[in-house]
Chains A and B, each alone.
Chain A
Amino acid sequence: KNEVEQSPQNLTAQEGEFITINCSYSVGISALHWLQQHPGGGIVSLFMLSSGKKKHGRLIATINIQEKHSSLHITASHPRDSAVYICAVSFNAGGTSYGKLTFGQGTILTVHP
């Protein structure tokens, strides 16, 4: 079964702390996406990864294809980082794949000043 698991489900931090959100998936993928959703808001794509590591500002995303695991890190967290962070993958299906995404349950991040 194609599954995506995220942890933790809820995360509370003080401003300035280093934050890590984890994502594991069950079978081979074409790509993994990290998404951000503010309450009542739309979905913003933060990263798309198929290998290695990507960095954008205070956000860093890594992926280990062999271990089927990815992490999203936020350095020097700020209250405006408070949002739901969602991991999503496009699974390989019999050697072919397309952009259909399977999502984790999301991690609710709250950063206090």
Chain B
Amino acid sequence: NAGVMQNPRHLVRRRGQEARLRCSPMKGHSHVYWYRQLPEEGLKFMVYLQKENIIDESGMPKERFSAEFPKEGPSILRIQQVVRGDSAAYFCASSLYGGGNTEAFFGQGTRLTVV
């Protein structure tokens, strides 16, 4: 049973390009969370999705960022027109249930560098 798979592990984009980060949850998990870790800062919540639905996007910047978790395929975090400040490690976590007392499994992260 493969763990949470994120790809790519490293992504370099020029300012103004688009970045697409993918997250395949553990088999059977329908709850996905995206977190961002800025350099020298702690992890911060971005968005919580359950198959085909965005449940909570309170941590996501209002512009340029979007997320989806389609019925088939991985969850995608999309950043349009990237800027240097978007350089960070982006982690996703998946869980079997949506409750607060549920174990979360993290991926290896995608390190985004904007040049």
* Listed stretches B15-23, B43-51, B70-78, B80-88; interface member: B43-51
Q: Is B39 located at the chain interface by the 8 A CB criterion?
A: no
Q: Is B95 located at the chain interface by the 8 A CB criterion?
A: yes
Q: Which of A42, A92, A99 sits near B48, CB closer than 8 Å? A: A99
Tell whether, in the assembled complex, residue A41 and residue B108 are in contact, meaning their CB atoms are under 8 Å apart.
yes
Secondary structure of the B side of the interface? strand
Tell whether, in the assembled complex, residue A100 and residue B45 are in contact, meaning their CB atoms are under 8 Å apart.
yes
Q: Which residues of A73-93 have CB atoms within 8 Å of chain B's CB atoms? A: 86, 88, 90-92
Q: Is A101 located at the chain interface by the 8 A CB criterion?
A: yes
CB distance from A103 to the nearest CB of B (A): 4
Q: Which residues of B5-51 have CB atoms within 8 Å of chain A's CB atoms? A: 31, 33, 35, 41-45, 48
Tell whether, in the assembled complex, residue B106 and residue A42 are in contact, meaning their CB atoms are under 8 Å apart.
yes
Which of A40, A43, A91, A102 has the most B CB atoms < 10 Å from its CB? Answer: A43
Tell whether, in the assembled complex, residue A102 and residue B45 are in contact, meaning their CB atoms are under 8 Å apart.
yes
Q: Which residues of A37-59 have CB atoms within 8 Å of chain B's CB atoms? A: 40-45, 48, 50
Q: Is A29 located at the chain interface by the 8 A CB criterion?
A: yes
Residues of A within 8 A of B111 (CB): 40
Please report the C-alpha to C-alpha distance between residue A88 and residue B107 in the assembled complex, in whole angstroms: 16
B-contacting residues of A (Cβ < 8 Å)? 29-31, 33, 35, 40-45, 48, 50, 86, 88, 90-92, 97-106
Known: A33-B104, A42-B109, A45-B104; 19 extra A-B contacts, CB below 8 A, are: A29-B100, A30-B99, A30-B101, A40-B111, A41-B108, A42-B107, A44-B106, A91-B100, A97-B101, A98-B98, A99-B48, A99-B95, A99-B104, A100-B33, A100-B48, A101-B33, A101-B45, A103-B35, A106-B42
A-contacting residues of B (Cβ < 8 Å)? 31, 33, 35, 41-45, 48, 55-56, 91, 93, 95, 97-109, 111
19 A–B pairs (Cβ distance < 8 Å), ordered by A: A29-B100, A30-B99, A40-B111, A42-B106, A43-B106, A48-B101, A48-B103, A48-B104, A90-B100, A92-B100, A97-B100, A98-B55, A98-B99, A99-B33, A99-B100, A100-B56, A101-B43, A101-B104, A105-B42
